[in-house]
């Protein structure tokens, strides 16, 4: 009698705990970023694509969550021999969604497994497609086409494992480190060529400008000299005409007059010693005195 309320309490508690357990085991939530697979005793029975509060059978059902988001896959760096026998290092990345969860669960089960398979698919596809192309087309607008082709191929092959490949892209396509020294040398030689050409062009310009200027100077000076000569000879001619018209009046007198000028100009300022004969007419008076003429 005494412990009757206690029993009731114990019963209520036990019931409450049981009810709680049932509720908690049959309710689960699916996040906005998730999708869930309900597995009943090891057999997948349903896919839950919508987020929210969901119910399942307790004990027998287990829920496996998968991402609905776009998932990244970075493939490790791969050395690839291109169509023109050049080796490059290629990193690719893939973006995919789990599209068909049931198929995905049956074929790969985990994301890790899917990544491994997808990585192989991408690797072989990239190797095959790039193996046909020369480096030049990777470094051109053709790259997009090649990448599209790889993407389509991978997408096609990934469909059977429930994966929707949204994109495959070349993240990095570089020449391996061993060859970069050769590239550097080539770049250097190209720059040297350019630098030499530029300097030579500078020299060319300078020579053109200088020689042009010198030619112009010579032309200017020679023209001036020509004009000068013409002007001078005109002056000379004019002077000669003036003289001729004046002196032509009496050439005899001019000779006399001009020789006197010459004596004055050439003899007067020097100190010549003249040996004179007293017979000279201007000395007659010195010798004979007046009246003897």
Partner 1 sequence: MSSNSEKDDKIAPDTGIPSPQLVQSAQVIPNQLGYKFGLGRKGFTLIAAVAVFLWLVSGIYKVQPDEQGVVLRFGKWVETSDPGIHYRLPAPIETILLPKVTSINQLQLGKVGITKQAANILSAHIEPEFAPLPAAQGENINQMLTGDENIVEADCAVFWQIKDVGNYLFKVYAPEKMLKVAAESALREVIGRNPIQAALSDRRQQIADDVKDSLQHLLDAEQAGILVTQVQLQRVDPPAAVIDAFNDVQRARADKERLRNEAEAYRNDILPRARGEAERINQDAEAYKTQVVNLAQGDAQSFLSVYATYTSSRDATAWRLYLDSVDQVLKKANKVIIDSSGKGMSGVVPYMPLSETSAKPTTAQGAAQ
C-beta of 131 vs 235, nearer to partner 1: 235
Among positions 1, 43, 178, 273, the unique one binding partner 1 when judged by CB under 8 A? 273
Of the pair 43, 275, the CB lying nearest partner 1 is at 275
| Residue 132 Cβ vs partner 1, minimum distance, rounded to whole Å | 18
Question: How many C-beta neighbours within 10 Å does residue 61 have?
Answer: 17
Q: How many residues does the chain have?
A: 293
Beta carbon nearer to partner 1, 42 or 217: 217
CA 174/CA 190 separation, integer angstroms: 20
Considering the rule CB under 8 A, would residue 2 count as an interface residue with partner 1?
A: no
Query: Which residue number, 106 or 169, has a Cβ lying nearer to partner 1?
Result: 169
List the one residue out of 49, 24, 53, 19 whose CA is nearest residue 36.
Answer: 49
Closest CA to 95 of 61, 64, 70: 70
Q: How far is the CB of 41 from partner 1 (least distance, A)?
A: 23
Least gap, CB of 181 to partner 1 (angstroms): 8
CA distance 223 to 53: 107
Among 53, 178, 290, 292, interactor with partner 1 by CB under 8 A: 53
The CA-CA-CA angle for residues 279, 280, 285, to 5°, reads 85
Report the C-alpha gap between 272 and 198 in whole angstroms: 74
Of 60, 70, 81, 116, which lies in the binding site for partner 1, with binding defined by CB under 8 A?
A: 70
Residue list 210-229, contact with partner 1 (CB under 8 A): 210, 212-214, 216-217, 220-221, 223-225, 227-229
x-or-dash string of contact with partner 1, 151-190, rule CB under 8 A: ---------------xx-xxxxxxx-x--xx-xx--xx-x
**Residue from the set 58, 72, 131, 160 that interacts with partner 1 by CB under 8 A:** 72
Is residue 135 near partner 1 by the rule CB under 8 A? yes
- Cα Rg for the chain, rounded, in angstroms? 59
As a whole number of angstroms, the distance between CA 108 and CA 95 comes to 17
In the DSSP assignment, the letter for residue 280 is: S
């Amino acid at each position: 009698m005494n412990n009757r309320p206690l029993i009731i309490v114990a019963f209520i508690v036990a019931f409450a705990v049981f009810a709680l357990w049932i509720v908690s085991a049959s309710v689960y939530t699916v996040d906005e970023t998730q999708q869930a697979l309900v597995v009943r005793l090891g057999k997948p029975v349903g896919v839950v694509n919508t987020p929210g509060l969901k119910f399942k059978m307790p004990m027998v059902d287990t829920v496996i969550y998968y991402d609905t988001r776009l998932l990244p896959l970075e493939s490790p760096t791969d050395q690839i021999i291109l169509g023109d026998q050049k080796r490059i290092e290629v990193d690719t990345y893939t973006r995919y969604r789990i599209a068909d969860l049931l198929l995905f669960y049956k074929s790969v089960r985990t994301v890790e497994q899917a990544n491994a398979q997808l990585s192989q698919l991408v690797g072989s596809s990239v190797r095959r497609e790039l193996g046909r192309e020369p480096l030049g087309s990777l470094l051109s607008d053709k790259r997009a086409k090649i990448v599209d082709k790889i993407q389509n191929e991978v997408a096609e092959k990934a469909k059977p494992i429930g994966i929707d490949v949204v994109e495959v892209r070349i993240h990095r396509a570089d020449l391996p480190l061993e060859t970069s020294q050769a590239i550097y040398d080539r770049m250097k030689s190209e720059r040297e060529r350019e630098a030499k050409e530029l300097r030579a062009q500078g020299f060319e310009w300078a020579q053109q400008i200088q020689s042009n200027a010198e030619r112009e100077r010579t032309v200017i000076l020679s023209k001036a000299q020509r004009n000068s000569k013409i002007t001078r000879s005109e002056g000379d001619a004019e002077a000669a005409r003036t003289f001729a018209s004046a002196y032509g009046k009496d050439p005899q007198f001019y000779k006399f007059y001009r020789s006197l000028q010459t004596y004055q100009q050439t003899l007067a300022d020097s100190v010549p010693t003249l040996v004179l004969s007293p017979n000279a007419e201007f000395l007659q008076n010195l010798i004979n005195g007046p009246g003897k003429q």
